[in-house]
Amino acid sequence: MSQAKIEALLFDLDNTLADREGAFKRLCREFWQAEPTINSSVVFNDAYLKLCEWDADGRTFPKRDIFDLARQEWGELIRTPDEMERWYESVYPSMFRPDVRVTRFLQRVEQVGIPWGIVSNGPAFQSQVIRQIGLQRAAPRSVISAEFGSAKPAQVIFEEGLRRIGFESAPGRCLFVGDSPIADVEGARSAGMQTGWIIRGRSWPADLTRPDYTLGHVSDLAEVLGI
């Protein structure tokens, strides 16, 4: 059966529209530089790999757990894990940088009149990230799990995203794009949407149904959409 024409788009935020990997690395460098116990005993790259392991690609909550593990690994820190969590929340959004390719692609999407929005798991400061990368115009069409009260892959949060772009009655004509096989692809498929997956150098899990589209970068959608 042929796929329906794509008439609307919904996106994940971290590592889809926003370079979460780059932002987390900048944050880790500031943390490493500010903690003599760490920077005097381990080079940044080794510390960064450990922090990435504990962060689990952003899935670790509360964030104080990351800094508690750092204290156990490297010794007492200047700030307590609770203080570090507050620091993380205040500094993290400012670590993001706009992606020119994303900005240009979305400008083209808007020029041709394709509705789009964002459905993101994460705390309320994800709204600050959206502003930081220059996508504040999407705020009315953005659903953040901490604010909404449900997280991907739950079908209800995708349905809310569809409602905000006016496609709640036509999910099959909307494409959802994200980097998580389960939270994004499986979740969006359960809501009746077409699906796109951002590779990030990984292989698709053999036990899951493949997405409709596999993408190296979100801007690759321009070819799919013919824009």
Range of the structural domain that residue 141 is part of:
8-19+97-225
pLDDT tens track for 55-65? 999 999 999 99
Is residue 71 domain-shared with residue 135, that is, in the same domain?
no
Compute the distance between CA of residue 24 and CA of residue 36 in angstroms, rounded to an integer: 20
In a domain, 2, yes or no: no
In a domain, 217, yes or no: yes
Compute the distance between CA of residue 9 and CA of residue 173 in angstroms, rounded to an integer: 9
Is residue 115 domain-shared with residue 194, that is, in the same domain?
yes
pLDDT tens track for 143-201? 999 999 999 999 999 999 999 999 999 999 999 999 999 999 999 999 999 999 999 99
Is residue 78 domain-shared with residue 146, that is, in the same domain?
no
Given a cut of 60, is residue 1 above it in pLDDT? no
pLDDT tens track for 57-94? 999 999 999 999 999 999 999 999 999 999 999 999 99
Is residue 150 domain-shared with residue 186, that is, in the same domain?
yes
pLDDT at 3: 80
Instruction: Say what angle helices 81-91 and 20-34 make with each other, to 10 degrees.
Output: 130
Is residue 79 domain-shared with residue 60, that is, in the same domain?
yes
Last residue of a domain, one of 95, 122, 141: 95
pLDDT at 185: 98
Of 16, 33, 30, 183, the residue nearest 95 (C-alpha): 30
Q: Is the dihedral of CA 191, 194, 200, 204 positive or negative?
A: positive
Q: What CATH number is associated with residue 130?
A: 3.40.50.1000
Q: What is the mean pLDDT of residues 30-58?
A: 97
Q: What is the mean pLDDT of residues 30-43?
A: 97
Last residue of a domain, one of 73, 95, 117: 95
Q: What is the mean pLDDT of residues 49-53?
A: 98
Is residue 113 domain-shared with residue 204, that is, in the same domain?
yes
